[in-house]
Amino acid sequence: MDKSPSILIIYTGGTIGMVNEPVTGTLVPIDFSHISDQVPELRRFGCRLETVTFDPVIDSSDVSPDTWGKIAGTIAKRYDEFDGFVVLHGTDTMAYSASALSFMLSGLEKPVIFTGAQLPIGVLRTDGKENLITSIEIAAARDNNTPKVPEVCVYFENRLLRGNRTTKYSAEHFNAFTSPNLPPLAEAGLQIRYNRNLIRYPTVRRPLTISAKFETGVGIMRLFPGLGRSLVHSMLATEGLRGLILESYGTGNAPTLSWFYDELRAFIVRGGIVLNVTQCPAGSVEMGLYETSEGLRSAGVISGKDLTTEAAVTKMMILLGSELSRERILSLLSKSICGEMS
């Protein structure tokens, strides 16, 4: 019996899967069943590789909760057949998808590694080959028959980041992603060095289950000087809006304007939920630290601590889509479910 690790590569779309069409020279998606033609190094891997390609492939900008459901469903359907999964995905919304999958896949005990590229895999200087090869190696890595990283992660430019701690910060450089409030789970140099004290390992074994129902009535409001009441009111009065991610200043601060708190309080009284995250690239919300955040807490706004916006949005969508009570949703929003906040 073949004891070598088995990895399923799920190609959803994105830059990594593009090559130049010989006749026209335009970029077209490749057939990932022949990926070893583009990356012959894969033939030297001591593991079994299989590929699944979405039909049609999806540009990163067109990713939706339906896409997340399809990725999660593919993993669940083949979960018992493979030791790990590599998801090839466009970079623009990769942090959203990795965050969503982390909340969707309950009972996960195998690696799910998202990766992609800034340059197509068919281009000479592509970063896609290294990203793909190392992602597969990490997905296949085991100690005593136990996966080294049984989490949803993003691998890009030598660093393995927890998926729900990741955000895209560069549209130009190969190191396109950062994890501002959590160090890398692994770093690839001459060797791949795993930061085992940061990696989450299951403490209770349970079957893999999927939470695939999303509430898309969620909005994001970023504070800025001059934000007016009419704009705030119209957004909070949007039909079907159930949750708001408030991107506040610094450690969770907002203008000390009575009308602003009145609008938030009225939305919350109507059943809405407001989650406060900082618009700073790094740091955490500490409501009550300054007087300018105490009003938010008094209005009923919840602290998102050091959640990324991507994790905040997807977490709220999942929780609001569940059948949990409002009190339980509020409780879970303020605590870590799968390592998304400190």
pLDDT digits (tens, 9 = 90+) for 179-214: 999 999 999 999 999 999 999 998 888 899 999 899
Assign domain 218-333 to a CATH class: alpha beta
- Mean pLDDT for the stretch of residues 212-219: 95
Q: How far is the C-alpha of 280 from the C-alpha of 251, rounded, in Å?
A: 8
Run of H or E including 266: helix 258-269
Burial class (CB in 10 A: 0-12, 13-18, 19+), 27: middle
Q: What is the mean pLDDT of residues 154-173?
A: 93
pLDDT in tens, 56-74: 889 889 999 999 999 999 9
Closest CA to 164 of 64, 329, 313: 313
Angle at 292 (CA atoms; ends 255, 295), nearest 5 degrees: 90
Give the C-alpha separation, 274 to 63, whole Å: 24
Which residue ranges make up each domain of the chain?
6-210, 218-333
* Interatomic CA distance for residues 26 and 23, integer angstroms: 8
Q: From the candidates 15, 53, 67, 309, which is the catalytic residue?
A: 15
Query: Homologous superfamily of 6-210 in CATH?
Result: L-asparaginase, N-terminal domain (3.40.50.1170)
**Better-scored residue on pLDDT, 291 or 312:** 312
Q: What are phi and psi of 213, to 5 degrees?
A: -100, 120
DSSP 148: S
Task: Tell me the pLDDT tens digit for each residue of 96-120.
Answer: 999 999 999 999 999 999 999 888 8
Give the helix/strand (H/E) hosting 326.
helix 326-333
Task: Mark whether 15 is an active-site residue.
Answer: yes
Are domains 6-210 and 218-333 of this chain identical in fold?
A: yes
